[in-house]
């Protein structure tokens, strides 16, 4: 602990960390920056708008996401997090890349809903069938549509305020459900 | 005094305490399925794969590969095999890696051909 803090306070770490360690430390420091205030821009890449309905409900009194320090913003220039819905239609490629490029760094991308995760549509002439190959995704939120509670959990996972839960789940019964 | 103000006073705080405390409406959400490996055979797994509208289920050998990211919680697999599939009740499914959502479920059922 003392060695680590001493290494942090000096000009550089005593021994070079591995790339994975550095990446994880960087990811955690970015999440820590966003812990108390995060501005969200939503991006619809051809979704059916069910995800948008659920995202809209986050601002309703029952969920009230502002109490957690999350805010929606109309401009990607002001956004820290891009919430992408839909299967990423090819006609939207340029707009999606420009939106991502317009955001100031550090920035996060959350794939929202089964379409964005590549579940509903397969890749064809009109759609990529998922946003993974167009944008660098940080958090994946499944669901069709994901409920506002699931979206809240996803946002809290993105800023490191909740631990990821699904990694340990096995989706089997027989007593050991997780 | 406007009526909405009085109504607000009567109903009290409606906002969920979600991250700190569980939300009461969570139990009513549609959730992805949980499987019973002992009840799953190859035939049943193939039937579930055909029934799934969003390609969340595939079979590879003696393993049923369930992609929770692709699952839309439509409930068709539960309808097709209620003895082997039930709702998992899990809605906190956010993952930091797409691979964390892909689960391998062993087929331990009797009566394989």
Note if the pTM is more than 0.80. Answer: yes
CATH code of the domain made up of A39-158? 3.40.50.12280
Least confident range of A38-42, A109-113, A129-133, B108-112: B108-112
% of chain B with per-residue pLDDT over 70: 96
Touching check for A20 and chain B: CB below 8 Å?
A: no
pLDDT in the model for residue A155: 93
Q: Are B32 and B89 in contact (CB under 8 A)?
A: no
Q: How far apart are CA A150 and CA B49, in angstroms?
A: 26
Q: Is residue B12 part of a domain?
A: no
Report pLDDT digits (tens) over B16-69.
888 888 888 888 999 999 999 888 899 999 999 999 999 899 999 899 999 999
How many CB atoms sit inside 10 A of residue A39's CB? Answer: 17
Mode of pairing for the β-strands spanning B102-106 and B63-67: antiparallel
Q: What pLDDT is stored for residue A6 in this prediction?
A: 46
Here the CATH number for the domain that contains residue B94 is 3.30.70.3270
Residue pair B68/B93 in contact (Cβ under 8 Å)? The answer is: yes
Contact check, Cβ <8 Å, A62/B94: no
- Nearest chain A residue (CA) to B87: A171
Q: Does the distance separating the beta carbons of B103 and A62 come in below 8 Å?
A: no
- Find the angle CA(A116)-CA(A122)-CA(A127) to the nearest 5 degrees: 70
What mean pLDDT comes out for the span A90-113? 93
Complex-level ipTM: 0.86
> Would the CA dihedral through A142, A147, A148, A152 be positive or negative?
negative
Q: Tell me how close the Cα of B37 comes to any Cα of chain A, in angstroms.
A: 7
Q: Does B85 lie at the interface with A, CB-CB under 8 angstroms?
A: no
A 116-155 residues inside an 8 A Cβ radius of B: 117-120, 122, 132, 137-144, 146-147, 149-150, 152-154
Cα dist. A136→A81, A92, B55, B63 in Å? 12, 16, 23, 30
- pLDDT of B3 higher than 50: yes
pLDDT at A13: 53
Name the domain count of chain B: 1
User: How many residue contacts between A and B have a Cβ separation below 8 Å?
Assistant: 147
Please determine, for residue A2, whether its predicted confidence score (pLDDT) is greater than 60.
no
Domain assignment present for residue B21? The answer is: no
Parse chain A into domains and list their residue ranges.
Answer: 39-158
Domain-embedded: residue B102: yes
How far apart CA A77 and CA A95 sit, in angstroms, is: 14
Is A62–B34 a contact, with Cβ atoms under 8 angstroms apart? no
Least confident of A84-93, A96-105, A169-178: A169-178
Interval A66-88: pLDDT, tens? 999 999 999 999 999 999 999 99
Can you give the pLDDT at residue B12?
85
pLDDT, mean of residues A35-46: 93
pLDDT more than 70, % of chain A: 88
- Domain span at residue B67 reads 27-106
Contacts of B55 in chain A (CB under 8 A): 119, 122
What pLDDT is attached to residue B68? 92
Residue B92 and residue A61: Cα distance in Å, rounded? Answer: 21
């Amino acid at each position: 602990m003392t060695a680590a803090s001493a290494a942090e306070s000096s000009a550089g770490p005593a021994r070079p960390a591995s790339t994975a360690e550095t990446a994880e430390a960087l990811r955690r420091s970015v999440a820590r920056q966003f812990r108390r205030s995060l501005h969200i821009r939503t991006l619809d890449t051809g979704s059916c708008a069910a995800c948008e309905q659920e995202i809209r409900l986050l601002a309703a009194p029952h969920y009230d996401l502002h109490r957690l320090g999350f805010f929606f913003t109309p401009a990607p220039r002001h956004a820290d997090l891009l919430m992408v819905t839909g299967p990423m239609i090819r006609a939207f490629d340029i707009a999606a890349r420009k939106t991502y490029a317009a955001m100031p760094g550090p920035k996060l991308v959350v794939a929202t809903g089964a379409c964005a995760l590549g579940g509903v549509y397969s890749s064809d002439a009109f759609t990529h069938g998922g946003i993974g190959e167009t944008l660098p995704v940080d958090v994946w939120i499944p669901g069709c549509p994901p409920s506002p509670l699931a979206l809240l959990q996803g946002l809290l996972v993105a800023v490191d305020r909740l631990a990821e839960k699904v990694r340990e789940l096995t989706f089997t019964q027989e007593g050991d459900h997780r | 005094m406007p009526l909405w103000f009085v109504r607000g006073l009567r109903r009290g705080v409606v906002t969920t305490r979600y991250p700190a405390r569980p939300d009461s409406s969570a139990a009513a959400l549609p959730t992805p399925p949980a499987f019973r490996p002992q009840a799953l055979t190859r035939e049943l797994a193939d039937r579930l794969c055909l029934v799934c509208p969003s390609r969340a289920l595939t079979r590879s050998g003696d393993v049923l590969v369930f992609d929770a990211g692709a699952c839309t919680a439509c409930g068709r697999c539960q309808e097709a095999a209620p003895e082997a599939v039930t709702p998992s009740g899990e809605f906190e499914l956010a993952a930091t890696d797409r691979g964390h959502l892909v689960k391998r479920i062993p087929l331990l059922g009797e009566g394989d051909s």
